[in-house]
Chains A and B, each alone.
Chain A
Amino acid sequence: MSSVEAVVTSADADDGHAVAELVGVSKSYAGGVAALRSVDMVVEYGELLAIVGPSGSGKSTMLNLIGTLDRPSSGTVCIDGFDVATLSDRQLSALRSRRIGFVFQQFHLAAGRDALGNVADGLLYTGAGRRDREQRAEAALTRVGLGKRLTHRPYQLSGGERQRVAIARAVAGDPPLLLADEPTGNLDSVAGGGVMELLHELHQSGTTILVITHDREIADSLPRQVQMRDGQVV
């Protein structure tokens, strides 16, 4: 799966567009908070980068825009070659279902479903059949080192393992872009280190990964850092 994806990814890269491109992007919320102010940024295929900055500097806002969960107040956001402004809500959903994987600080796992179910359900909106989803889920869980934890429910897993399940869910569909918002924020340093190691491995097998963190040390361990302060890239 991943080798096929790597081919597709490099083909995408040959097209000349970036996996994410932000031009003059601003975002202000109701109440007049300018969370992002005229941000320009390009993320190329195959990158592993950190967006780092203090709390409230606009990192999550940026991730939401790149993840097409929200639209900018002004400026252009292009993801995988598509201008978000030209796409309908349905099209953005389809874009997310196949091209973007999310990892959240709070894991967002379904308590009533085991690891395999959680990961397989992540493929629900790709149109894959149930068998296919379960096979891919098992492969993804094996890939993150949880091949022996398939039937464990979230409460039976450690924090680090839960985040691995969430990562498996995000990468099971082999999206070209993986977005992680403070993925180690709820983990101790050992578990956090394990998760970062896993992200490095995924990056080596071809996935573009964007990690949000307020932790300088984590940011410095990645090939590229984008610094943010007060809604601006510095």
Chain B
Amino acid sequence: MSRPNAPGLIDARRRGTSPGDRKRAREALRPARLRTSDLIRLGGYGLRLRPLRAVLSALGIAIGIAAMIAVVGISASSHADLDRELAKLGTNMLTVSPGKTMFGEQATLPDESVAMIKRIGPVQSATATGVVGTAHAYRNDRIPAAQTGGLSVVAAKLDLLDTVGAELSRGVWLNEATDRYPTVVLGATAAERLGTGPTVYIGGRSWVVVGVLQKVALASELDTSVITGWPAATTYLAFDGHPTTVYTRSVESQVEAVRAVLGATADPSAPSEVDVSRPSEVLSLRRATNATFTSMLLGLGSVALLVGGIGVANTMVISVLERRSEIGLRRSLGATKGQIRTQFVAESLLLSLIGGAAGALMGYLVTGSYALTQGWPTVVPPWVLAGGVGATVAIGAIAGLYPAIRASRLAPTEALAAA
């Protein structure tokens, strides 16, 4: 109630022409600011007037945000799992295999290629397997020869397991003694197909199964292999002794340098016939192949967000139309145009933030349960959550602005008459 009340001022103020009077009026008649807490409460009252409508229009936003967060979260969780796996497997393995000759025939690697590769400085280990193309493995001697089961017989050097990172699920690995006799170790898939008998039948005789491998992530070709010792294959299966795959591990920082020289080292006479690959990259690529699927889902998520935003705008427009008399009342109570505008923007922001928060929770739960079924860690990057919140704030502000401006432009008398 502060008002200048020196008697001499009154007449001048009534005429209202001098700039000093206007200044005094400005000071005496400054609208009070709405507190933020009051603004939030106002938005809440507005939404509670029509709770079902609020929930439905927040749902659109929620679905959009949930889709976005789940898509990004699932992809991030998959990557986190891959990273975890690669950290365990190592990314420093390179494999060398003979490609096709220029006449289209299967090439082989020179017998001395393993020794040559071991001489490359940063190479820490190198070992080889050789496919025994002429031999096939069967459960027993009563299986017809044509039923090879898609398995291959492979001769291996004794240091294979360390280099490829393979583990036994049961039994033992070959050793200096057993690798010259008819003994085998089965790959995981090969063991499933050949059963759990004590022997398998290869090249007209029984071979004793001494061990079974777990799945080998970086050398999945071993899963379908029946592995014999190098000397035994030569002795009993007429193996030519040429390596068909060389596995190497190098110093991590030098892997690319090693890769550059590996072909020429393995087969100096025909380096272009040699395929060099990095299995960890193949793993990453396999996971990355669903990138188009991901962007499709992201597109759907943004459409849902857009529709959600339109839903919020629609709700606000209707709300303003229905609440003209409330707007008129507030103007009569002293609300400025700006305060009416702010109230409706706050309401719209609150509506979309509620949707966004629900959506973030839904997205997180979807990511979590999907990751759980896949055995992945649950990872939702903070930037996605921040982006989700940012998106809902932007949607709320944009959706609410036009209705709020309309509300603030209503003439008080007209708004009051609308009751």
CB within 8 Å for A70 and B412 given contacts A96-B333, A125-B334, A125-B339? yes
CB within 8 Å for A94 and B1 given contacts A108-B325, A108-B329? no
Nearest-CB residue, chain A, relative to B38: A124
**Residue A98 at the chain B interface, CB threshold 8 Å:** yes
The answer on a CB contact under 8 Å between B1 and A8 is yes
Give the contacting residue for B10; candidates A69, A70, A81; CB below 8 A. Answer: A81
Chain B residues with Cβ below 8 Å from A17 are 10, 14
Interface SS majority for chain B: helix
Give the docked Cα–Cα distance between A102 and B415 (Å). Answer: 15
- B27-35, B308-316, B354-362 - interface stretch: B27-35
A144 CB to nearest chain B CB (Å): 17
Give the docked Cα–Cα distance between A178 and B237 (Å). Answer: 112
Give the docked Cα–Cα distance between A121 and B332 (Å). Answer: 12
A5 CB to nearest chain B CB (Å): 8
Nearest-CB residue, chain A, relative to B32: A127
The answer on a CB contact under 8 Å between B10 and A16 is yes
Give the docked Cα–Cα distance between A113 and B37 (Å). Answer: 17
Give the docked Cα–Cα distance between A32 and B150 (Å). Answer: 96
Chain B, 106-132, CB within 8 A of any chain A CB: none
The answer on a CB contact under 8 Å between B14 and A83 is yes
Give the contacting residue for A94; candidates B29, B38, B42, B330; CB below 8 A. Answer: B29
The answer on a CB contact under 8 Å between B7 and A91 is no
Give the number of chain B interface residues (Cβ < 8 Å): 47
Chain A residues with Cβ below 8 Å from B15 are 83
A80-123 interface mask toward B, CB cutoff 8 Å, 1 = contact, 0 = none? Answer: 11110111011111111110101010101011110000000110
**Residue A40 at the chain B interface, CB threshold 8 Å:** no
Give the docked Cα–Cα distance between A85 and B25 (Å). Answer: 12
Nearest-CB residue, chain B, relative to A117: B45
Give the docked Cα–Cα distance between A87 and B337 (Å). Answer: 14
CB within 8 Å for A110 and B45 given contacts A8-B1, A70-B412, A87-B29? yes
Give the docked Cα–Cα distance between A91 and B21 (Å). Answer: 13
The answer on a CB contact under 8 Å between A81 and B3 is yes
The answer on a CB contact under 8 Å between B16 and A91 is no
Going nearest first, the 5 A-B pairs with the smallest beta carbon separation are: A97-B334, A127-B32, A86-B16, A83-B16, A125-B334
